[in-house]
Amino acid sequence: MNTAPRIAGWLVACVWLLTGAACSSSSPVHKALPVTAPFPMDKAGQTARIEFSIVEGQANLKRRFMVGLDFPQTQDGSIENVIQQKDVPLQVQVFSVDQGKMVPIPTEDEQTIVAAANGIRTKSETSFAKLSLYGTDGKTSNVLVAGFYLSHYGHYVVVVKTVQNFPMFTGIKTELKVDQFYNPGE
């Protein structure tokens, strides 16, 4: 009796089963920080959803995290100037995902962060954040949208939405990022 084809068949079946089991794993995919997503800013109602996981050893939970926006620096500084006037609001929501439940996490835009640092209490119950130009490097403009703290390792979701038309961003490649907060000492 020829057992070689039978053994080969069993090996192929085992590999197929193991591959299928690995592909259907129910464990979450851990996206390491920074996590980025394209985000057109020109029209109201644009929405981006960014999912990420923070695992032990990947990030310091005592530090603030952020939602940022990067885009090519404009030659005339026109978009950057509008952002410096604090006239570009976005809706930002951050959620912890715990056993299928979305638990909201408070966010703070730059104005709220500065006010708190100066001992001024502000209403932080809003999900709206006004953009703040952090800096440029000659090629890219880096903008702070909102900061937030995480209390535990786990799975998170950030949802960002434009609340008005911003025609100045037409044709501009903009990208959201979730990362640890900008280092103010840089």
The answer as to whether 17 is a domain residue is no
Helix (H) or strand (E) holding 148: strand 140-148
Where residue 15 falls (left for φ over 0; alpha for ψ -120 to 50; beta otherwise) is alpha
The answer as to whether 11 is a domain residue is no
CA 49/CA 161 separation, integer angstroms: 9
pLDDT digits (tens, 9 = 90+) for 46-65: 999 999 999 888 888 999 99
The answer as to whether 1 is a domain residue is no
Q: Which residues contact 112 (CB under 8 A, 6 or more apart)?
A: 122, 124
pLDDT at 142 over 90: yes
CATH number, domain at 34? 2.60.120.790
How many other CB atoms are found less than 10 A from the CB of residue 67?
26
The answer as to whether 9 is a domain residue is no
- Which among 124, 114, 129, 122 has a CA at the least distance from the CA of 160? 129
Length of the chain: 186
The answer as to whether 13 is a domain residue is no
The answer as to whether 160 is a domain residue is yes
CA distances from 39 to 24, 42, 116 (A): 30, 9, 29
Give the 3-state secondary structure of residue 115: helix
pLDDT digits (tens, 9 = 90+) for 10-54: 443 443 333 333 333 334 455 778 999 999 999 999 999 999 999
Range of the domain at 172: 28-180
**Number of domains forming the structure of the chain:** 1
Confidence of residue 2 (pLDDT cuts 50, 70, 90): low
CA 107/CA 149 separation, integer angstroms: 8
The answer as to whether 37 is a domain residue is yes
Whose tokens are 């851990």? That residue is 30
pLDDT digits (tens, 9 = 90+) for 104-124: 999 988 888 887 778 787 665
pLDDT digits (tens, 9 = 90+) for 87-105: 899 999 999 999 889 999 9
- Which among 144, 68, 142 has a CA at the least distance from the CA of 112? 144
The answer as to whether 16 is a domain residue is no
